[in-house]
Structure 1
């Protein structure tokens, strides 16, 4: 049976060979065809392959893999339409390859196949950062590639340890019972942006191209979430890791000036909800993680699209330099607000239908502290992603920008994404029916709607009061360092300190060592000098005695 991911990867080879509408048609036809193939595949495993005594299963279709693969393919269609205007065929081809790796990985039935797609995802996506062709993007792409390679090395090490322990290559529940599972979890933790391991995401995503940032927001991290859901469902540690992920990015997002970097922090925040769902496990937790991952692919992509449109027309996404764009970009403004409402979980928008599954799963487990942390995070994401981004980009102080709307294809892609957000929000059963576990869940209860509206209302009131009283952190030109301070400042500073210390130590020790070495050489080489004992003329009888002694030693050794 054919793998829909391979259809995208192989089909992408034809993108550079075509021009104009033929290329654009191919970019849309490939993911649509892959989506049709995906839903025509019957549930179960494809043909297995024997290799070196190990059993490989390159294709496994079940409800969990199908819903993630569907989300990836929908995101691929949206990104492809958004990229119609781009004349760089490399970016357009890479988008399809990148999407194909996520689809192929979500359908992998063994760890070796998963690893191949895992590595291809990292190696292909880095070109979406380098394609911006600036010094900052070149450096950011290199740092991104290091993070992806380290993740791949840890993944390969974990797989090798599991195979050595006789656990085989089957990609099912992995857990933390052995060192192999711990290594694989560390590999996933990098791509899923666990706390401390997250800095590569907020550092590199804002440096990608306009189209590249949209693609990056959909595939790598959600691929990692799928791997967690498949291999580590119900792992207790993930509940606390995810809860921390939901909270700490809020504080960085509030003081961040670059609105694309605000979205990157918001991505870590949303990933935290998914990780909590995986950690809770059970039907509701896994369903919530899967549903929210699919919704996030679309509404986060929509927000990155809108900021990409702003960047295309104004040349910046700095909050301190933007404002008043609603006058000349009203369509982009409205579509951005749909994305903001979705990520903020407004009723009738996608986030409300998906995030509530995770909150309900936590509540049913009576995890009060975790539930309160997620409630705080929900208010926080509305504060920085739901209000801050639209407010400072399109409203706030009018900076005098009078620009055109982005190209038609970009607006069409944003409108398509907005339609998906509203459709999921209005008719969540369309998504619920695709989830791994059957459930009887009613999202539009009076209590749930009222509680969510109260939460959003008070968050909006807090933002308004902070802005009106001047207490809100001003949007100023600044660089905020996160954990990337370790490799941006601490490591370079440490290396410079080590170099200086080595130089000073060398200067202090060089002269005494040189003097002592010269003295030692003088003493050792003294007998060899012309005036020394070895260099002085020897008498004939002395030479005869030495020759006899050497000959005797040779004969003795020969006899022995």
Structure 2
């Protein structure tokens, strides 16, 4: 008899951090009180120990249906992402310790474990399984906000990521058919599999115009859920792009577009989490542009910037979350003068703001300048100039606009207390890493995939250029301060198509279809008209079975997409 399932898993040699986090999430689901909090902290702590104890090589391999699966491909690239993922899971757990929401804690740990699974996946099928598990677990962090807007945003988030998963699966099937291999390494350009897998990845990376799911969903998530969401989804996409698509020229221009797109909309934003969400797009753009260039320094810069970005972006969302938790307000037009009442939160926020703005002695400086230097070495003046312009826009909105109108400026009359102790501890840990990496960059550089790094961020040229740029932006901000005041409105992005255009189109189509049905029925004789009318009671636009049309339409479009993909391939 053929052995269709053969497993050879050396548990003693390698403890899977992803399995630790997922099992921790399942334990949290059945525990309560102090035991639940203990597991909530212990699971990411043990995962961090497992990452630190991982040795390079292949672990957790098994055969399934004659396909070789690998749960643990450990190398320098996977380790640098796994290292910061484990730190972030622990920091996020500390930040969420005061929350009494079992579903949210369970979803957060399974989500973190799924992201870790993607990073360690040695084959495309394993990657796909964890990719989909990320989607299914992360959406609960949006829905647990228990608002109508959160429910709607969560469904839109789910639909977009379902499309990403279908594209990825179609690409994997074609790739396996063409090559007979499922190993996940650099994918040869030009084939349908290349484009389908790339498209699946860049949707999760929030590349415009496929990015609106991020700025739509992240402002609607829970206070603690936003900290996890900002850390994992887009960065797993960055990891997969580094692994599978280095030196893809298209990514240069997509990444460059991301940097400007993000900062432009961030300057216009009023909701503090929407503003920060746009800067995820902008900062991931630096990473994507580095991947597209594909030199050793550029790829190191993208990996390093992903590492630092996870920490300072989480700190930004933690600080914003503390404001929302203590005031109940999310708009800059409703805030002001909070530095007197939340001084620690203000201090931690500014450390993160200086980091994302790449101020010397902060973590963002030692990673972002590496990508800029890589482009300078290639004499790519246009891209270098655009990336520098995006850096200026980052400081304008995150380093100046948000802290001025939220923490300083006019007094809003709010008198909140400082954030809970566990939230402050989590922010303090993230702030420590932002400063520690900034003053000791070799600690990060030694983990990067291409060794030796051979880059020095603290040259006079780098430091003086950066300080001049930030000083000029600061001058412009305060000179034009009265024009920088936020406005109480939302600026629609490409989400206009499903917020405004799609409902209108559905309404028009529904009216026309209904008119056609009525005219058709009027033209029929009475017996046939009676039969059709009875059928419409169950299947028509207002019928009983029609109530399930959203789920049915999703299945239909997924089936159509797969069919068209396979037809294009075989024809």
TM normalised by structure 1 equals 0.89
Residue number in structure 2 paired with 1:538 = none
Superimposed CA distance per residue, residues 238-279 of structure 1 (whole angstroms, 9 cap, x where no aligned partner):
000000000012221111110100000010000000001111
Equivalent of 1:142, from 132, 155, 174? 155
Counterpart Cα distance in 1 of 2:284 and 2:435: 21
Kindly indicate whether residue 366 of structure 2 is the aligned counterpart of residue 365 of structure 1.
no
- Asked if 1 retains the 8 angstrom alpha-carbon contact of 2:282 and 2:390, the reply is yes
Q: How far off its partner does 1:515 sit?
A: 9.1
Residue number in structure 2 paired with 1:471 = 483
Superimposed CA distance per residue, residues 157-198 of structure 1 (whole angstroms, 9 cap, x where no aligned partner):
110011111241001111432101111111111100011100
Counterpart Cα distance in 2 of 1:327 and 1:36: 39
Q: How far off its partner does 1:28 sit?
A: 2.1
1:449 partner SS: helix
Counterpart Cα distance in 1 of 2:51 and 2:483: 52
Counterpart Cα distance in 2 of 1:399 and 1:77: 34
1:59 partner SS: strand
TM normalised by structure 2 equals 0.87
Counterpart Cα distance in 1 of 2:61 and 2:357: 44
Residue number in structure 2 paired with 1:501 = 512
Residue number in structure 1 paired with 2:538 = none
- Which shifted more, 11-20 or 227-236? 11-20
1:152 partner SS: helix
Counterpart Cα distance in 2 of 1:23 and 1:180: 43
- Asked if 2 retains the 8 angstrom alpha-carbon contact of 1:175 and 1:235, the reply is no
1:206 partner SS: helix
Task: Give unpaired runs (5+ residues) of structure 2.
Answer: 1-13, 529-571
CA change 1:19–1:510 in 2 (3 A) is: closer
Q: How far off its partner does 1:509 sit?
A: 7.2
2:71 partner SS: coil
Residue number in structure 1 paired with 2:457 = 443
Residue number in structure 1 paired with 2:10 = none
Counterpart Cα distance in 1 of 2:15 and 2:440: 32
Q: How far off its partner does 1:504 sit?
A: 4.8
Counterpart Cα distance in 2 of 1:480 and 1:269: 17
Q: How far off its partner does 1:25 sit?
A: 2.8
Q: How far off its partner does 1:156 sit?
A: 0.7
Kindly indicate whether residue 459 of structure 2 is the aligned counterpart of residue 459 of structure 1.
no
Equivalent of 2:491, from 473, 480, 493? 480
Kindly indicate whether residue 119 of structure 2 is the aligned counterpart of residue 98 of structure 1.
no
- Which shifted more, 77-86 or 488-497? 488-497
Counterpart Cα distance in 1 of 2:188 and 2:38: 43
Kindly indicate whether residue 276 of structure 2 is the aligned counterpart of residue 301 of structure 1.
no
1:412 partner SS: helix
Superimposed CA distance per residue, residues 401-432 of structure 1 (whole angstroms, 9 cap, x where no aligned partner):
11100100001100111001000101010000
Equivalent of 2:282, from 266, 269, 292? 269
Residue number in structure 2 paired with 1:131 = 144
Kindly indicate whether residue 30 of structure 2 is the aligned counterpart of residue 26 of structure 1.
no
- Asked if 1 retains the 8 angstrom alpha-carbon contact of 2:25 and 2:106, the reply is yes
Q: How far off its partner does 1:505 sit?
A: 5.4
Q: How far off its partner does 1:517 sit?
A: 12
Superimposed CA distance per residue, residues 496-553 of structure 1 (whole angstroms, 9 cap, x where no aligned partner):
1222334455667776x459999xxxxxxxxxxxxxxxxxxxxxxxxxxxxxxxxxxx
1:58 partner SS: strand
Residue number in structure 1 paired with 2:502 = 491
Residue number in structure 2 paired with 1:343 = 356
- Asked if 1 retains the 8 angstrom alpha-carbon contact of 2:51 and 2:86, the reply is no
Structure-to-structure mapping, 1:33-432, within 5 angstroms: 33-432=46-445
Kindly indicate whether residue 15 of structure 2 is the aligned counterpart of residue 2 of structure 1.
yes
Counterpart Cα distance in 1 of 2:41 and 2:511: 57
State the aligned residue count: 514
Counterpart Cα distance in 2 of 1:104 and 1:221: 15
Q: How far off its partner does 1:47 sit?
A: 4.8
Q: How far off its partner does 1:48 sit?
A: 3.1
1:165 partner SS: helix
Counterpart Cα distance in 2 of 1:315 and 1:61: 43
- Asked if 2 retains the 8 angstrom alpha-carbon contact of 1:250 and 1:384, the reply is yes
Task: Give unpaired runs (5+ residues) of structure 1.
Answer: 519-560
1:45 partner SS: strand
2:411 partner SS: coil
Counterpart Cα distance in 2 of 1:337 and 1:278: 29
